[in-house]
Every structure is written in structure tokens, then in C-alpha cells.
């Protein structure tokens, strides 16, 4: 599960890595949380565009969001089968912008004691977390773009603290991932654990927080 992450890189570094021309004014965030507005990259008229969406996927068939569970992740192993996700994974794939994410290691059998870790690239570069998005229409007719992060089994580095990790894509995969015409088997092959040497674990003394939400 990926439940909190960070976006701290300068906007120009993000634009260069993800390949979009928009110039958004999105401030650095140490602690991005579910239900917040989060930045993604998706295709619009064949071009990569920056967009802000709600982190918490709401399928189109949902009538009342308050009566539906919060879906911040989608398991890659079942995403093509689940009614909530199967349309989005085929037609509405996106990239979550990040440069680190957080996981907690259980220190006792009951999980009452946990230690936070920041997971990042050794050189502290960007991370493209694979996602899906959906435009949901509420009862009053207003539309909300929502999204979820795809997860896969943990690689050897992450397995030391957690059994799952986000699907992380490299720039060479961006075009195929975002293109709606990419065949399902090709999409499935991209949803694999990242190489072990591509990530490092940084132990933290305290849980992350932003001043706005701490």
C-alpha cells in the first residue's frame, strides 16, 4: 500500500522528467495524503498534460461517494478484473508525480509500534508512480477527477519493511503507459517491481508532516 508520499523537486525538474509543457504553481509538499488534490500527468489530445485530481478513486457507477470506500491504491494483479478499475486501466492511465514515498515497518506483532521510512532514488530524482484516473459526476452534476496509485509486490529492498510497493515507471515507458491504445498484455508487463538497486530506504525519526496538515 502507498498511503503518503512527497513532492519536493523544483517545477522545472519535474517538467523535464515527465515531459509536459504546462507551468503549474504547485508548492513542494513533504506529506501528500489521500483525498488531497495531487498532481498527475495524463494524455490530452495526444499531449502530456499536468492536472490536479483528487487522490481517492471514485468509479463512474458510484452514486454517493460517502457510501463508497476510499480507493487510493489498485492492485496490479487484479486491476483488469475489478469492476471499479477495469475501464480506467484500459483507457485512463496516468503518472503520479513524486520523489519519495513513505512506508512504516512494524516493530511488534500487533503493529502498535512502527518506524517510518522514506523510500527514494539513491540520487534523489523523480519517481513516476503508475496510476489510473476517472472523471466522477456527483448528484448535483459537478465533475471531479479522481485517481489511484497502482501497486505490485515489493522488491527485495522494500520487502524488508513491507510486502507491497507502488508501480514505478521509467521515462522509456511513459508513452506506452499513457497511450490508451496500448494492449492489455503490454500494460500488464509494465506493472512489475522496480529493480532493487533503483531505490533506497531512509529511516526517519518521526512521521512526515506538512505544516498545513501537521
Q: Which residue has the cell 483488469?
A: 80
2 is catalytic: yes
Query: Using alpha carbons only, how large is the chain's radius of gyration in Å?
Result: 17
Q: Which residue has the cell 466522477?
A: 136
β partners of residue 104: 116
Residue 205 has phi, psi (to 5 degrees) of -80, -25
H/E run at residue 144: strand 143-153
94 is catalytic: no
CA torsion sign, 200 to 201 to 206 to 212? Answer: positive
Choose the catalytic residue: 103, 135, 143, 170: 103
What whole-number distance in Å separates Cα of residue 63 and Cα of residue 70?
Answer: 14
Q: Say if CB 14 and CB 29 are below 8 A apart.
A: no
Residue 87 has which C-alpha cell? 475501464
Residue 85 has phi, psi (to 5 degrees) of -115, -15
Comparing CA positions, the residue from 130, 121, 111, 134 lying closest to residue 60 is 134
Active site residues: 2, 103
Amino acid at each position: 500500500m502507498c498511503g503518503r508520499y512527497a513532492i519536493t523537486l523544483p517545477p522545472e525538474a519535474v517538467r523535464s522528467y515527465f515531459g509536459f509543457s504546462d507551468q503549474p504553481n504547485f508548492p513542494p509538499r513533504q506529506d501528500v495524503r489521500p483525498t488531497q488534490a495531487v498532481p498527475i500527468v495524463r494524455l490530452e489530445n495526444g499531449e502530456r498534460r499536468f492536472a490536479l485530481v483528487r487522490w481517492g478513486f471514485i468509479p463512474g457507477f458510484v452514486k454517493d461517494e460517502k457510501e463508497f470506500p476510499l480507493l487510493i491504491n489498485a492492485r496490479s494483479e487484479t486491476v483488469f478484473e475489478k469492476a471499479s478499475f477495469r475501464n480506467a486501466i484500459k483507457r485512463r492511465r496516468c503518472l503520479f508525480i513524486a520523489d519519495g514515498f513513505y512506508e512504516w515497518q512494524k516493530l511488534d506483532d500487533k503493529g502498535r509500534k512502527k518506524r517510518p521510512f522514506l523510500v527514494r532514488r539513491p540520487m534523489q530524482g523523480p519517481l513516476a508512480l503508475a496510476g489510473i484516473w476517472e472523471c466522477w459526476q456527483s448528484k448535483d452534476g459537478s465533475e471531479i477527477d479522481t485517481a489511484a496509485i497502482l501497486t505490485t509486490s515489493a522488491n527485495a529492498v522494500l520487502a524488508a519493511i513491507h510486502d507491497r510497493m507502488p508501480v514505478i515507471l521509467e521515462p522509456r515507458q511513459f508513452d506506452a503507459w499513457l497511450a490508451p491504445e496500448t494492449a492489455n498484455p503490454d500494460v500488464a508487463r509494465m506493472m512489475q517491481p522496480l529493480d532493487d538497486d533503483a531505490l533506497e530506504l531512509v529511516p526517519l525519526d518521526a512521521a512526515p508532516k506538512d505544516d498545513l496538515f501537521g
